[in-house]
Amino acid sequence: MRRNNRAVISTVLFTIVVALTGSLVLFLGSTAQAATRTHHAKAATAAKAHGPHQLGQLVASDAWPGDDFGWSVAISGSTAVVGAPYAQNYMGAAYIFTKSGSTWTQTAELLPSDAATGNEFGWSVAISGSTVAVGSPGTYYGLGSAYVFTDTGGTWSQQSDLTAHDALGADKFGYSVVTSGSSVMVGADGHSGKTGAVYVFTDGGGTWSQQAELTASDGAPSDMFGWSMAVQGSTLVVSAVRHAANGAIYVFTESGGTWSQAAELTAGDGFPDDYFGDKVAVSGALIVAGAPGHNNTTGAAYVFGGSGTHWTQVGELTASDGQANDCFGWSVGLSGKTVLVGAEQHAAASGAAYVFTKAGSKWKQKSELTAGDGGLSDEFGYSASLSGTTAIIGADNSEGAAGSAFLFKL
């Protein structure tokens, strides 16, 4: 399901006017100008808006066709991070945007100290407070690495370069990353014949060290454990999208510094090639898992409720206008009782994202989101993250495959 390659588009860029609710954003340029353009997301004046509405569009200050900016996104409060793993000939980059008033502005571009062609830095991103983790699964010819950056007084700097103690070729360490408090978890879905593993690192006064290596109790070759992850406090959710062909997600809990598997979850109507767990999210007593391959790639997302060792499927979400090949569930976000689900192949790959809320005991679709300047093959919904009522949604193939990300108020 996940693309591993795409030819870099070299066609001339565009003159695009992006109309937002209550304001206008103008992007002008060509491929020759793209590297020098400064792009700031202008916030929409939303005082009169009702329901979910677009706040702005984010693009990289040095955008270039084929960068795939928006491949990965994460948001926490007034800070967002966006990955562009194909930037600079697959070296990759990650960008920090911060909110001041109602305006989101790029404040940093992150690059690793050992940047090299093919590293795919920015394949995965995560943020918690003043800590950002960035995965780079292409480093060392697919061995992979992950990097920790910290913010001090508005300046972001690399604090650590993480690798696994038992690293092997083609591990793809950094395929997924999450961070919570003083911990960073890194997925290596290619480890040990694609059985997969997750590594937990903790910060000890600025020095990050490996604390644990997690594997599934019933792991097997080609399961791809560590494909995606989500964390909240002492609860970690890890997917193995090829487990038993259908996919599974595993819940781990931490007690006294020790992580242990508490539960294994599967879809009630799972089927081979569903890619159940392609993306996962956790918030409070809820977990959501996308399955973009379900029902002839129409896709679905599954909601589980519980805690500790006891989790039960409490909902299956589908799009009101879902069709085959939409890949609904390619990305997911969760905050409280609000679920965000991306369908990046919807409407000839223009893409869409859907907002669901819980009403009583049932989950209902609240709205369908699309990009203000959406076009064919933009892949809006390729990535998604939710913080409170603010969502960030990646459209990695928009802007001539330079990519962009959109902010919404839900």
Condensed to tens digits (0 to 9), the pLDDT of residues 174-229 reads 999 999 999 999 999 999 999 999 999 999 998 999 999 999 999 999 999 999 99
pLDDT value of position 6:
36
Confidence class of residue 42 from pLDDT cuts 50, 70 and 90? very low
Is the per-residue pLDDT at 87 higher than 80?
A: yes
242 burial via Cβ count (<10 Å: 0-12, 13-18, 19+)? buried
Is the per-residue pLDDT at 57 higher than 80?
A: yes
The residue among 30 and 92 whose pLDDT is bigger is 92
How does the average pLDDT of the chain come out, rounded? Answer: 89
Percent of the chain scored above 90 by pLDDT? Answer: 86
Summarised one tens digit per residue, pLDDT across range 377-397 is 999 999 999 999 999 999 999
Confidence class of residue 10 from pLDDT cuts 50, 70 and 90? very low
pLDDT value of position 164:
97
What is the pLDDT averaged over residues 346-373?
A: 95
Is the per-residue pLDDT at 14 higher than 50?
A: no
Is the per-residue pLDDT at 299 higher than 90?
A: yes
Residues 6+ apart with CB under 8 A from 26: 17, 18
Is the per-residue pLDDT at 325 higher than 90?
A: yes
Confidence class of residue 11 from pLDDT cuts 50, 70 and 90? very low
Residue 297 has phi, psi (to 5 degrees) of 60, 20
Confidence class of residue 9 from pLDDT cuts 50, 70 and 90? very low
Nearest in space to 110 (alpha carbons), one of 151, 144, 75: 151
pLDDT value of position 285:
97
Summarised one tens digit per residue, pLDDT across range 259-284 is 999 999 999 999 999 999 999 999 99
Is the per-residue pLDDT at 1 higher than 80?
A: no
Is the per-residue pLDDT at 23 higher than 90?
A: no
Nearest in space to 229 (alpha carbons), one of 183, 272, 192: 183
What is the pLDDT averaged over residues 282-297?
A: 98
The structural domains of the chain, ordered by start, are: 15-45+53-409 (2.130.10.130)
pLDDT value of position 50:
64
What is the pLDDT averaged over residues 298-308?
A: 97
Percent of the chain scored above 70 by pLDDT? Answer: 88
Nearest in space to 312 (alpha carbons), one of 330, 285, 338: 285
pLDDT value of position 373:
86
Is the per-residue pLDDT at 45 higher than 70?
A: no
Is the per-residue pLDDT at 145 higher than 70?
A: yes
pLDDT value of position 359:
85
Is the per-residue pLDDT at 314 higher than 60?
A: yes
Q: Which residues pair with 120 in a beta bridge?
A: none
Is the per-residue pLDDT at 81 higher than 50?
A: yes
Confidence class of residue 36 from pLDDT cuts 50, 70 and 90? very low
